[in-house]
Amino acid sequence: MPAGWWMGLPAVLAVAAVLTWCARRYALRRKLFDQPGERRSHVVATPRGGGIAIVVTLLLALAAAAVIWPGARTLLLVSGLGLVLVAGIGWWDDHRPLPAVRRLLVHLLAAGLLAGLVWDATGNPWQALLALLFTTSLINIWNFMDGINGIATSQAILVGAAFALVLPGPLALAGIVLALACLGFLPFNFPNARIFMGDVGSGALGYAVAALVCLASVSTDISWLLLLVPLTAFLVDAGFTLLSRMLSGQRWMEPHTQHLYQRAVKSGATHTSVTGTYFVFGLFSITVFNACTYLQPRWEAAVAVAWIFFATGLWLLLRKGMRY
């Protein structure tokens, strides 16, 4: 990549950090706090909504990209609009809680925009439908998994780095910018949380990660299954926890503390150790991912299935020892 592009990357980190500081001052002034409770993993009232800094940073990066690459303006505009929709409904929910159905409808609309881009790029309606379902799910998964200090942000950093290594040419900047925007926010949330991301940030991160996966699916030959490997920790924990709640007849959309990472904290582990454990597992996941991206498609899929089975077995083993 040209040196000029690299010179702009420190600005992404700086802008995200400054905006997070501003978001914290705003939250304190407006008294936007997440209060401790039985269904939460923190014990001190903490400002929320800091994820708006990541969102604004990503939107500024999209605007800069539209100036540099005018031929990609439509794609950037549509994906940016989807990000605004998800972040906007999350920002509203952070200020005044909304019904889950209303949020889901907005998520579907934003996911539909991303799916439309996939359809336009591939001409494959089934791949577009997969993008729609996957994006809607990931928006909510990232929200569900944003329950302890640093976990959602650090996993997004890993995903951004993983896809930056496999996306061709300038497209790699999408992963780098996502990782840097999250890195600018992280010191305010980990190891001690001075502000939480809030729904504005967690849902938007899920959308941004889904956009990276969709981008890789249309710009590389990597199997869809292998593209899921960098997300294994969240997909397995969120997916099987929600499935177990559904099968037991619980109201799965309600807040709870039954995810594996939440059980670990309830069992006495610190936020730092749990987030660190997920980060280490994420490092293994992206190592497997990057090592296998040049295999034949059937072997990529086989490795992905084997890795997800391994992660599922590990999840079951650890969860069994953390009943409470």
Q: Tell me the per-residue pLDDT of 21-67, one tens digit each, with 9 for 90 and over.
A: 999 999 999 988 877 766 666 667 889 999 999 999 999 999 999 99
Query: Is the bond preceding 297 in cis, omega lying within 30 degrees of 0?
Result: no
pLDDT score, position 250: 73
Place of tokens 């605007």: 63
294-323 per-position pLDDT tens digit: 888 899 999 999 999 999 999 999 888 665
pLDDT score, position 208: 97
d(CA 234, CA 190): 18
Average pLDDT, the chain: 90
Q: Is residue 207 classed exposed, middle or buried when 0-12, 13-18 and 19+ CB atoms within 10 A define those classes?
A: buried
Place of tokens 């890795």: 307
Find out whether 199 and 94 touch, Cβ atoms under 8 Å: yes
68-95 per-position pLDDT tens digit: 889 889 999 999 999 999 999 999 998 9
Position 268 confidence tier, pLDDT thresholds 50, 70, 90: confident
d(CA 54, CA 17): 9
Find out whether 290 and 166 touch, Cβ atoms under 8 Å: yes
- End-to-end, the C-alpha distance of the chain in Å comes to 51
pTM of the model: 0.94
24-33 per-position pLDDT tens digit: 999 999 988 8
Greater pLDDT, 41 or 119: 119
Least confident of 85-99, 212-226, 237-251: 237-251
**Residue 148's domain spans which residues?**
3-320
Provide the greatest CA pair distance for the chain: 56
d(CA 297, CA 211): 21
161-178 per-position pLDDT tens digit: 999 999 998 899 999 999
Place of tokens 């997909």: 235
Among residues 227, 229, 210, the alpha carbon closest in space to that of 311 is found at: 229
d(CA 282, CA 179): 14
Length of the chain: 324
Counting the structural domains of the chain, the total is: 1
